[in-house]
Structure 1
Amino acid sequence: MAVQLNHTIVAAHDRHASAAFLTELLGLKPSVDFGPFAVVELDNEVSLDFIDDPEVKPRHYAFLVSEEEFDEIFGRIRARGLSYWADPFEQHPGEINTNDGGRGVYWKDPNEHMLEIITRPYGSG
């Protein structure tokens, strides 16, 4: 049996607002409530399960997307006037990266989690 990630829990100050932020930017279906979670289903049968937590510790979440999806998502990031960077250390504001011959960009969600979209997996170029 191949081991696959099924879900992970994402701490949020407001699980519904955080799930909506992500689904709107990534162009996904709205979250579904399951117990204390607002569940966001990704296209690869993995879910991010947002839970309310007053002591959020920011984490990093990266999403592999197609070139077309990158353009759509990046357009929504810019349309919202969100700050973005070419790197996770925020050293290159207002830029995207072209690592491994693809494109990538980082931005923060309302909980300060660092989100990333890339069009090529790191190390694939």
Structure 2
Amino acid sequence: MSTVASGRVFGSTGKTTVRMTVTFNHTIIASKDKSASAAFYRELFELPEAPAWGPFVNVQLDEGVLLQFAEPPVDIQMQHYAFLVDDELFVRCLAFVQRRGITYWADPQLQREGETNTEHGGRGFYFFDPAGHAIEIITRPYL
């Protein structure tokens, strides 16, 4: 078996090599109110409701990626989540944040309040979600 640029070698039958690429499947996002946080993201990204199970309220993004909101019994530590969106959704996300009176910045240092950036050939901005997590919305990937 060997490693290849497009993924990892998962197995070999002698004649055929099966490659398994690495993709992101889900993450758990801590929140004081999992239902309110999930509703916030569904509204922000204009997504339908997804099935919930166990301790999770889920939001399903494209490619089957799940955001699973949970209410942990410990203090919530701020995390950073960046979302890549197209130009049209970017405009609608920014309008959503503005309508709700949420403070936003062009930079992660929170110096350019009320502005967006044009880094990496696209546009972007930062804000905090209802649970206090730092959210970044961008239209072009960094790499």
> TM-score range with shorter-chain normalisation?
over 0.9
Q: Greater CA deviation, 66-75 or 21-30? A: 21-30
Aligned match of 2:105 in 42, 60, 85? Answer: 85
Partners of 1:30 and 1:116 lie apart in 2 by 22
Match of 1:122 in 2: 142
Partners of 2:63 and 2:100 lie apart in 1 by 27
Aligned match of 2:64 in 45, 54, 58? Answer: 45
Secondary structure of the corresponding residue to residue 58 of structure 1:
coil
CA RMSD, Structure 1 to Structure 2 (Å): 1.1
Secondary structure of the corresponding residue to residue 136 of structure 2:
strand
CA positional deviation for 1:87: 1.3
Q: Which runs of structure 2 are paired with 1:14-53 in the superposition (5 Å)?
A: 14-53=33-72
Unaligned runs of 5+ in 2: 1-19
CA positional deviation for 1:22: 1.2
CA positional deviation for 1:97: 0.6
Give TM-score, length-normalised by structure 1: 0.93
User: Which structure has the larger Rg?
Assistant: 2
Aligned match of 2:115 in 95, 101, 113? Answer: 95
Partners of 2:50 and 2:64 lie apart in 1 by 14
Identical-residue share of aligned pairs (%): 49
Partners of 1:55 and 1:81 lie apart in 2 by 26
Match of 2:29 in 1: 10
Aligned residues: 123
Partners of 1:116 and 1:87 lie apart in 2 by 9
- Detail structure 1 runs of 4+ shifted over 2 Å in the superposition: none
CA deviations on 1:63-115 (whole Å, 9 max, x unpaired) are: 10000110111111111111000112211111101001200011111111011
CA positional deviation for 1:44: 2.1
Match of 1:75 in 2: 95
Q: Is the 8 A contact 1:103 1:118 kept in 2?
A: yes
Secondary structure of the corresponding residue to residue 82 of structure 2:
strand
Q: Which amino acid aligns with 1:105?
A: F
